[in-house]
Amino acid sequence: MVFNIQRYSTHDGEGIRTMIFYKGCPLRCQWCSNPESQSSEPSILFDARICKGFGDCILAAPKAITLNSNGVHINRPAISHPLRLKDVCLSRALTVAGENKRVEDILQEIEKDLPFYQQSKGGVTLSGGEPLSQGPDLTHLLEELRMRNIHVSVETSLHVHWKKVARCLGLVSTYLVDLKHINREKFRLFTQGNIDLVLTNLRKLVEHRENIILRIPVVPDFNHSMQEMEKIINFAASLQHIREIHFIPYHTLGIEKYNMLGMNYSFGSKKSVDPSELTPYVNYALTKGLITKIGG
């Protein structure tokens, strides 16, 4: 399931890129800025600030959407067919993220941008959520892109069964792998995941000599300290064939989306990390012979 196709992106990989954002993620990072990507089902977003009170959503789902003295109230579990609400709200206060797109339809979108890829050495970036958790359609798309000789980057946490990674071997130009932490307990506490799965997959990917760039989200109270970052960078530098590491500063831009999804943002009121705070980490990584970059 896809929740967004974004054209002309210049932030995620080389050149001008088409970003395909997939829904469904096995992790629950406390700082996640794409909470609409976590569920593999369609997600209903409601922005009360722009609701004009036309009531079309209430007419479409009268048992689940009601009007009370506080305005529109949405009982999400009671909505059995969220996709039926997709275009009912004229003011776009209520939107639905997620759509089952056929590979052919995704390819049609991608092909509109072919001239830009050729001029800028760009291509397609698969993101999410976790693109590698998708079903057989993902392999089909990768094969089609390979046949068209289109550069493909995949943003992944690698928190999936190895067979989901193995099917992509030889079909992905660059893996942009999130290396959030290497400490088992901290990783579990902040993401609900198992770091052993990530590190085992990463080592296997390295063994297959795939092209990998590591991306470290720099997150307050999680890994934003010299002590923690040294351990992560040392681990990265110990992996053969890995030459490049990117530091991604934590930002608060996604917080409003939690409200709109009826979700709780449990990460508290932390400030965005200023890129200048990352200089010591960049310098340390340089001493380890790594190519570095701040941002995607």
| Min dist. Cβ of residue 275 to ligand SF4 (A) | 19
Q: Does 37 bind ligand SF4 (CB under 6 A)?
A: yes
Three-state DSSP at 150 gives coil
Q: How many residues of this chain interact with ligand SF4, rule: CB under 6 A? A: 12
Buried b / exposed e across 147-185, counting CB within 10 Å, b at 16+? Answer: eeebbbbbbbbbbbeeebbeebeebbbbbbbbbbbbbee
Span of 20-28, 56-64, 205-213, 224-232 interacting with ligand SF4 by CB under 6 A: 20-28
Span of 33-41, 65-73, 139-147, 203-211 interacting with ligand SF4 by CB under 6 A: 33-41
Identify residue 198 by its one-letter amino acid code: V
Are 234 and 227 in contact by the 8 Å Cβ rule? The answer is: no
Phi and psi dihedrals of 294, rounded to 5?
-105, 125
Name residue, tokens 């795939």.
Answer: 210
Q: Does 34 bind ligand SF4 (CB under 6 A)?
A: yes
Q: Reading across the β-sheet that carries 17-22, which strands appear in turn?
A: 2-9, 17-22, 123-127, 151-156, 174-178, 212-218, 244-249, 291-294
Q: Does 128 bind ligand SF4 (CB under 6 A)?
A: yes
Span of 58-66, 124-132, 234-242, 277-285 interacting with ligand SF4 by CB under 6 A: 124-132
Three-state DSSP at 286 gives helix
Give the span between the Cα atoms of 189 and 209, in whole angstroms. Answer: 31
Cis peptide before 55 (omega within 30 of 0): no
Beta-strand pair 94-97/43-46: antiparallel
| Min dist. Cβ of residue 226 to ligand SF4 (A) | 23
| Position among 7, 8, 11, 28 found at the interface with ligand SF4 (CB under 6 A) | 28
Q: Does 61 bind ligand SF4 (CB under 6 A)?
A: no
Nearest to 157 by CA among 139, 179, 138, 173: 179
| Position among 32, 152, 176, 245 found at the interface with ligand SF4 (CB under 6 A) | 32
Span of 39-47, 123-131, 196-204, 275-283 interacting with ligand SF4 by CB under 6 A: 123-131
Q: Of the two residues 58 and 97, which places its CB atom closer to ligand SF4 in the complex?
A: 97
| Min dist. Cβ of residue 52 to ligand SF4 (A) | 31
Are 13 and 118 in contact by the 8 Å Cβ rule? The answer is: no
Give the span between the Cα atoms of 131 and 128, in whole angstroms. Answer: 6
What is the CB-side half-sphere exposure of residue 162 using CA atoms within 13 A? 11
Q: Does 129 bind ligand SF4 (CB under 6 A)?
A: yes
Span of 34-42, 132-140, 145-153, 287-295 interacting with ligand SF4 by CB under 6 A: 34-42
| Min dist. Cβ of residue 180 to ligand SF4 (A) | 8
| Position among 16, 19, 29, 248 found at the interface with ligand SF4 (CB under 6 A) | 29
Residues 204-243, mask of contacts with ligand SF4 (x by CB under 6 A): ----------------------------------------
| Position among 157, 174, 201, 223 found at the interface with ligand SF4 (CB under 6 A) | 157
Nearest to 217 by CA among 174, 189, 188, 250: 250
Interacting residue ranges for ligand SF4, rule: CB under 6 A: 25, 27-29, 32, 34, 37-38, 128-130, 157
